Structure 1
Amino acid sequence: MNSDDSAEVVARRFLAAQASGDVETLRGLLAEDLTWWVPGYFGERIARAAGFRFPASGVLRSRDALLVEFLGSIQALFVAGSHQLSFEVPVAEGDKAVALIHADADLVAGGSYHNDYALLFEVRDGRIVSAREYLDTLYAIDTLVNGTAPETDVGDRAAIELLRSLLVALQDPDRVKTCPPLFHEDGAIIWPFTPLGAMPRVEGRVQIERLMEGLNRGFRSLSFVDVEIHATDDPTLAFGTGRSDAVLASGTPYRNNYVFHLRARAGRITEYREYGDPSPHVVGPMIAEIGAGG
């Protein structure tokens, strides 16, 4: 492979072109059948509120979907010339490179936007064929859609951010690796409403890891949409609401409405409770496939 076509060089060229707004260079560095994954908080309702012409979460499946629909819609929210990117590519091996990015911009609607990203690129023949983009999606929604980021103190933010991080991790195909570290060693996941015979709780990181393995077996895809998260007067407690939009491994759609309840201590989750519709016709197929409650 030509050194100019290495994953690190292509990633750096792509990010430099994005920082300068060089669309033609971006186009030349992307494969036509590119796939680009974004976490699942930008559902259809939020996308419409932001003025996007499509749901901005999930997998984008072409170069034009990324450049025209996704990046074009987002850039329209920023004051022209205000979008600044700083980046580094600390890890690159073979056809993959990891980039860490910080973005700043002024918003057309007023206020400013500041977010951090991690991108995993896969490169083939000098072009990006796939990418996974990680960011604080709830901050992006609060800022880009509502026009203001949440104002919370450090104590509140601990519980809120842990709940946000957990919901993002649950949607990640690498959830076996990303979810358990968020919990205390004796942390628990609890389903207060479960059908007879379903597991009401799992406790400890080992059991939580096994649960995540079950989710990997049971779900073809898993997203939470219409998510809202709320602080309380207790800085160790956060609540949220949302609904699942998922497909089981069998191809059966799975949808449920949830209330999320999270307790935190010293930066780790001690207890996560998930309240959903326990009706057998709703959760029965899911329990059968993953072998757990939830």
Structure 2
Amino acid sequence: MSSSDNKALIEQYFEVIQGRDSSRDLPDFFTDDVTWRVPRSNPQITPNPRVGHAAVMDLLHSGVSVYEAGSMSLDLQPLIVAEQQVVAQFTMRARLANGAAYINEYCFVFALRDGRICAVTEYLDSLAQSTQGTWEK
């Protein structure tokens, strides 16, 4: 796929995860062998990386329960595209399930193959994530 197709795919991915596009289901964005890596400083994500479609879907669904339903908003910066990679920087704001406010900066590096996401490397401030209560059970 072209760089512009890959950019459009990731733009649509962010629309879907924010509930603004229901034309495609979240699992359809990922290859069967997808990997998702988070910072090693986050002890809550094991194994790391998550490998395979089912493992990545489990990771994404478990993350949703941390936040109050409907409270998440993303301030997505312009995407950076280089052939089969797309970089997305964004600020996420949400209310945690315990009612506390959450804000953090993220950077996702997406690798794409044949019109689907085959790898994600996620960067964020894991200290801020921890001190704001996202790791509390």
Same fold by TM-score, threshold 0.5 exceeded?
yes
Q: State how 1:1-294 maps to structure 2 within 5 Å.
A: 1=1, 6-20=5-19, 25-43=25-43, 47=44, 55=46, 58-67=48-57, 69-143=58-132, 144-146=134-136
Please give the TM-score of this superposition, normalised by the length of structure 2: 0.86
CA change 1:34–1:93 in 2 (3 A) is: same
Could you tell me which residue of structure 2 aligns to residue 248 of structure 1? none
Unaligned runs of 5+ in 2: none
Contact 1:17–1:25 at 8 Å: present in 2 too?
yes
Cα shift at 1:93: 1.7
- Letter matched to residue 38 of structure 1: V
Note the C-alpha offset of 1:92. Answer: 0.4
Q: 2:2–2:83: 8 Å Cα contact kept in structure 1?
A: no
Distance 2:23 2:55 in 1: 13
Q: CA offsets per residue over residues 160-218 of structure 1, 9 Å max, x none?
A: xxxxxxxxxxxxxxxxxxxxxxxxxxxxxxxxxxxxxxxxxxxxxxxxxxxxxxxxxxx
User: CA separation in 2, counterparts of 1:13 and 1:65?
Assistant: 22
Q: Distance in 2 between matches of 1:37 and 1:13?
A: 21
- Identify unmatched segments of 5+ residues in structure 1: 48-53, 148-294
- What is the Cα deviation at residue 123 of structure 1? 0.8
Deviations along 1:6-34, whole A, 9 cap, x unmatched? Answer: 22111111111111175952211111110
Residue 87 of structure 1 and its aligned partner are, at CA, apart by 1.0
Q: CA deviation at 1:64?
A: 2.1
Distance 1:123 1:113 in 2: 30
**2:68, 2:99 within 8 Å by CA — same for their partners in 1?**
no
Q: Compare CA radii of gyration and give the structure with the larger one.
A: 1
Residues in 1 aligned to 2:15 and 2:52: alpha-carbon distance in whole angstroms: 21
Q: Which structure dedicates a bigger proportion of its chain to helix?
A: 1
Shift of 1:107: 1.3
Confirm or deny: 8 A CA contact 2:3 2:83 kept in the other structure: no
RMSD, aligned CA: 2.3
Aligned partners of 1:90 and 1:98 also within 8 Å:
yes
User: Is the CA contact (8 Å cut-off) linking 1:7 and 1:121 kept in structure 2?
Assistant: no
Letter in 2 for 1:31: T
The CA distance in 2 between the partners of 1:2 and 1:132, in whole Å, is: 21
Distance 2:126 2:36 in 1: 15
Pairwise CA distance, 1:131 = 1.2
* Identity rate, percent: 25
Q: Deviations over 1:72-113 (max 9, x none)?
A: 112112111111122134310211111111111111212111
Deviation at 1:146, TM superposition (A): 4.7
Give the SS at the match of 1:7. Answer: helix
Kindly tell me the number of residue pairs found equivalent between the two proteins. Answer: 135
Cα 1:2–1:136 shift into 2, 3 Å: closer
Higher relative contact order (CA closer than 8 Å, sequence separation 6+): 2
